[in-house]
A and B are shown apart, each in its own frame.
Chain A
Amino acid sequence: MRPQSAGTWLALPVVAALGALCLAPLAILFAYSFFSVDFVTISHDPSLKNYARILQSETYRGLIARAFGSGLLVAAITAVIGYPVAWFLAKRAGAAKTMLLTLLLVPLYSGDLLRIFAWRVLLGAEGAINRSLIWLGAIDAPLQGLLFSPLATHIALTYNYLPFMVIGLWLAFESLDDAWLEAAADLGAPGRDRFRRVTLPLTAPGLIAGGLMVFVMVVGDYLTPQLLGGASGVTVISAINDLFGTAFDWPLGSAIAWTMLAILMLCFGAGAVLIRRSSLVAEGA
């Protein structure tokens, strides 16, 4: 047996285990999404009833749209903030790089709840921001809209998931050879074209990877909206949670989960195609 094929065989159990552990639950969910609940048992007659219900229900449609809206918004904000940060880390930080990367990851070592309550302390009616503004004389009474609002949720979500975007982009910038930018300048490209035609397409994989991570995690985060969003804290994930728990409607929960998954995959397929297109030279071959 040649060493290469030995490697293939040795890797097989791990690949198989990963496949089984990751894909099997999803496949089971997918199967469940076509079933229905008959009082306290699950009827195994396949139908598209659950998907029809989602389409007809304004509540579910709204929740799903809001989840994706939040995901896109936070992914976009983290991309805008993360892009220059990642560029700086890869190209300008020099010896401080390791330290800065560690600092970037420090918030991730603290718990979710800790970070969420830290934001409560900052944004609350008696919080640091309101007190500072009152002390400065900018406002007379505390701003009530800071905490328990979509604003609070999105600030905390951006803070939470920014490191994932930065890491994705940082790796992309690390493999961006400065010689490519010099070559573009050499061939006559002004600064904005060097960015549009070289930097952006060549860091797009990092942008997609980082964006995907942030997007997925924002869509799946229900603790942050629940604890900081106030009345706006109900999310599609908490709805799925309820359907699998108290409401005992696994088929509908599965259908919502799969609807989310399908839309997610479509979004990113489209994004990848878009970025590929934009990377081609104007006159194209």
Chain B
Amino acid sequence: MAVAENTAAGRRTRPLLEAIALYKSYGSVQAVRGIDLALAHESYVTLLGPSGCGKTTLLRMVGGFEAIGSGTLMLDGARLDDLPANLRPINTVFQSYALFPHLTVLENVAFGLSYRSLPKDRIKARAREALATVRMEAMADRRPRQLSGGQQQRVALARAIANEPRLLLLDEPLSALDRRMRKDMQIELKDLQRRLGMTFLHVTHDQEEAFALSDRIVVMRDGRIEQQGAPGDIYARPATAYVADFIGGASCLPGRILGQVGKSYAIETALGRHVVPGVSGLSVGARAVLCLRSEKVALGETGTPAHVTHAVYRGADWLLECVAGGQIFQVTHVGPPPAPGETVRLSFDPDRVWIAREAA
């Protein structure tokens, strides 16, 4: 039955992984409450959210380490949730890497392959190939404890891809690495996913990481999906104040919708009325927020008067914190900054800011 559905035509039209109305609670704590998600073939998807938002629980349910509370998981159109972890064609890169300390690097990578009906020399050859993919073939005979964090990370990656899974899960795989190493690994992960043509589902709390890697970002909050879409969409057109703030730290100015003007809305805020594009479906009189990203706000001769409270040097530019109308705004500023305490004038181009819902 599953085989019949798994035709080439079926594959193209059907998402690789589907989660339908997924719930999970631990005692009285609801970790995941109603997730519907579809992963396209050969895509890089990140689950992004703060700790406790349910992203890791969701990943663990897909991996089979956590029983689903209710709902359905489908892989290639076949039920996934009644399969135990060892029978799922899915592999995982664990946050702690979880390399077997009593086995060599090669033995670690060969572990999963030993469950394929392959001759021993093929197993070894494929394990070596997987190590070569992450440029670790020279370390084949070492033990995990003899490797640096970055090297262990690569071995964990090799071990997970050696099995050629339909789906690769990555549970905050870069969180233990230093910043420089993290940047390098981001590029490598993205490159690897493209080369292998595999689908990666990656959990992170780091929005920069999500932007660097993803075809699609799923922003989670309190066990639900707050918004999902391409990174550019999520950044430029956040659906809610939460997303606007979590992604790139926009200043959200509360206001009330006065009316719709084409695809834009007229909004009344503490800093006056503006006509600005926004998320669809806002009704007149509804409460909404005006999202101002620091790089979309400029200091000028005209505009809203504001007090500078802090100026932080960031190398390429300054990040100013200004207060106007009881609201804190962050402003990216190039060149000599105004001193804290000074009064400046803030302005923005109405077409380059965005109106989002106050809450989901």
A interface residue numbers (CB < 8 A to B): 177, 179-180, 182-190, 197-198, 201-202, 279-285
B interface residue numbers (CB < 8 A to A): 63-65, 84-87, 90-92, 94, 96, 98-104, 106-107, 110-112, 114-116, 120, 123-124, 140-141, 159-160, 163
Q: Which residue of A lies closest to B112 (CB)?
A: A187
- 10 further A-B contacts with Cβ under 8 Å, apart from A187-B112, A189-B115, are A182-B65, A182-B98, A187-B115, A187-B163, A188-B87, A188-B163, A189-B111, A190-B86, A281-B103, A281-B111
Q: Which residue of B lies closest to A175 (CB)?
A: B101
Bound-state Cα–Cα, A227 to B133, Å: 67
Bound-state Cα–Cα, A261 to B262, Å: 93
Q: A201 CB to closest chain B CB, in angstroms?
A: 5
Q: List 8 A-B contacts (CB under 8 A).
A: A183-B100, A184-B111, A185-B85, A185-B86, A186-B90, A187-B111, A285-B140, A285-B141
Q: CB distance B94 to A183 under 8 Å?
A: yes
Bound-state Cα–Cα, A73 to B140, Å: 41
Q: CB distance B115 to A283 under 8 Å?
A: no
Chain B residues, CB < 8 A from A189:
86, 111, 115
Q: B203 CB to closest chain A CB, in angstroms?
A: 15
Q: CB distance B102 to A186 under 8 Å?
A: no
Bound-state Cα–Cα, A190 to B112, Å: 11
Q: CB distance A187 to B101 under 8 Å?
A: no
Q: CB distance A186 to B92 under 8 Å?
A: yes
Q: CB distance B65 to A185 under 8 Å?
A: yes
Q: Which residue of A lies closest to B124 (CB)?
A: A283
Contact of A179 among B98, B120, B160 (CB under 8 A): B98
Q: CB distance B94 to A179 under 8 Å?
A: yes
Q: Which residue of B lies closest to A194 (CB)?
A: B86
Bound-state Cα–Cα, A190 to B111, Å: 12
Contact of B123 among A185, A197, A283 (CB under 8 A): A283
Q: CB distance B101 to A202 under 8 Å?
A: yes
Bound-state Cα–Cα, A282 to B160, Å: 19
Q: Which residue of A lies closest to B169 (CB)?
A: A186
Q: Which residue of A lies closest to B60 (CB)?
A: A182
Q: CB distance B115 to A279 under 8 Å?
A: no
Chain A residues, CB < 8 A from B65:
182, 185-186
Bound-state Cα–Cα, A279 to B100, Å: 11
Q: CB distance B98 to A177 under 8 Å?
A: yes
Bound-state Cα–Cα, A177 to B281, Å: 49
Q: CB distance A182 to B114 under 8 Å?
A: no
Bound-state Cα–Cα, A282 to B118, Å: 13
Bound-state Cα–Cα, A183 to B98, Å: 6
Bound-state Cα–Cα, A31 to B98, Å: 50
Bound-state Cα–Cα, A284 to B106, Å: 9
Chain A residues, CB < 8 A from B104:
285
Chain A residues, CB < 8 A from B64:
185-186
Q: Which residue of B lies closest to A276 (CB)?
A: B102
Q: CB distance B102 to A182 under 8 Å?
A: no
In the A-B complex, the 10 residue pairs with the closest CB atoms? A187-B112, A188-B115, A179-B98, A183-B98, A185-B85, A281-B107, A283-B120, A185-B86, A186-B92, A285-B106
Contact of A281 among B91, B99, B114, B163 (CB under 8 A): B114
Bound-state Cα–Cα, A185 to B84, Å: 8
Chain A residues, CB < 8 A from B124:
283, 285
Q: CB distance B107 to A188 under 8 Å?
A: no
Chain B residues, CB < 8 A from A190:
86
Q: CB distance A187 to B159 under 8 Å?
A: yes
Bound-state Cα–Cα, A104 to B124, Å: 46
- Known contacts: A185-B65, A186-B63, A187-B91. The answer to whether A180 contacts B98 by CB under 8 A is yes
Q: CB distance A179 to B96 under 8 Å?
A: yes
Bound-state Cα–Cα, A121 to B119, Å: 62
Chain A residues, CB < 8 A from B106:
285
Contact of A279 among B91, B102, B123 (CB under 8 A): B102
Q: A181 CB to closest chain B CB, in angstroms?
A: 9
Contact of A283 among B85, B114, B141 (CB under 8 A): B114
Q: Which residue of B lies closest to A182 (CB)?
A: B65
Q: A207 CB to closest chain B CB, in angstroms?
A: 13
Bound-state Cα–Cα, A187 to B102, Å: 16
Q: CB distance A285 to B86 under 8 Å?
A: no
Q: A154 CB to closest chain B CB, in angstroms?
A: 33
Q: Which residue of A lies closest to B106 (CB)?
A: A285
Chain A residues, CB < 8 A from B91:
186-187
Bound-state Cα–Cα, A102 to B100, Å: 32
Q: CB distance A177 to B96 under 8 Å?
A: yes
Q: Which residue of B lies closest to A197 (CB)?
A: B111
Chain B residues, CB < 8 A from A283:
110, 114, 120, 123-124
Bound-state Cα–Cα, A203 to B84, Å: 24
Bound-state Cα–Cα, A189 to B65, Å: 13
Bound-state Cα–Cα, A177 to B114, Å: 22
Q: CB distance B84 to A280 under 8 Å?
A: no
Q: CB distance B115 to A183 under 8 Å?
A: no
Task: Name the residue among A185, A186, A280 with the largest chain B CB count within 10 angstroms.
Answer: A186
Chain B residues, CB < 8 A from A186:
63-65, 85-86, 90-92, 112, 160
Bound-state Cα–Cα, A87 to B87, Å: 25
Q: Which residue of B lies closest to A284 (CB)?
A: B107
Bound-state Cα–Cα, A280 to B159, Å: 16
Q: A198 CB to closest chain B CB, in angstroms?
A: 6
Q: Which residue of A lies closest to B141 (CB)?
A: A285
Q: A116 CB to closest chain B CB, in angstroms?
A: 40
Q: Which residue of B lies closest to A184 (CB)?
A: B111
Bound-state Cα–Cα, A281 to B120, Å: 11
Chain B residues, CB < 8 A from A279:
102-103
Q: Which residue of A lies closest to B96 (CB)?
A: A179
Bound-state Cα–Cα, A180 to B96, Å: 10
Chain B residues, CB < 8 A from A198:
100
Chain B residues, CB < 8 A from A187:
86, 91, 111-112, 115, 159, 163
